[in-house]
Amino acid sequence: MDRLSSANLLPESFPSNDMTEQLALIWRQIRAPLIAPLLRFAVGICLIMSLMLFIERVYMAVVIVLVKLFGKRPEKRYKWEPIRDDIELGNSAYPMVLVQIPMYNEKEVYQLSIGAACGLSWPSDRIIIQVLDDSTDPAIKELVTMECQRWASKGINIKYEIRDNRNGYKAGALKEGMKRSYVKDCDYVAIFDADFQPEPDYLWRTVPFLVHNPELALVQARWKFVNSDECLMTRMQEMSLDYHFTVEQEVGSSTHAFFGFNGTAGVWRINALNEAGGWKDRTTVEDMDLAVRASLKGWKFVFVGDLKVKNELPSTFKAYRYQQHRWSCGPANLFRKMVMEILRNKRVTPWKKFHVIYAFFFVRKIVAHIVTFTFYCVVIPATVLVPEVQVPKWGAVYIPSIITLLNAVSTPKSLHLLVFWILFENVMSLHRTKATFIGLLEAGRVNEWVVTEKLGDAMKHKSGKQIKKSRSRIGERLHVLELFAGVYLFFCASYDLAFGRNHFYIYLYLQAAAFFVMGFGYIGTFVPTS
Q: Active site residue: 133, 193, 195, 287, which one?
A: 287
Length of the chain: 530
Contact call for residues 328 and 436 (beta carbons, < 8 A): yes
Q: Is 134 a catalytic residue?
A: yes
Contact call for residues 151 and 60 (beta carbons, < 8 A): no
- 3 class by beta-carbon count within 10 Å (0-12 exposed, 13-18 middle, 19+ buried): exposed
CA distance 136 to 44: 51
Q: Is 242 a catalytic residue?
A: no
CA distance 385 to 39: 11
CA distance 145 to 170: 19
258-297: string of b/e by CB count within 10 Å (b at 16+)? Answer: bbbbbbbbbbbbbebbeebeebbbebbbbbbbbbbbbbbe
What are 158's strand-pairing partners? 129
Query: Which H or E run includes 161?
Result: strand 158-162
CA distance 129 to 138: 22
Q: Which is nearest to 187 in space by CA: 89, 271, 294?
A: 271
Alpha-carbon distances of 363 from 186, 331, 332, 385, rounded to whole Å:
38, 12, 11, 29
Q: Annotated catalytic sites, by residue?
A: 134, 287
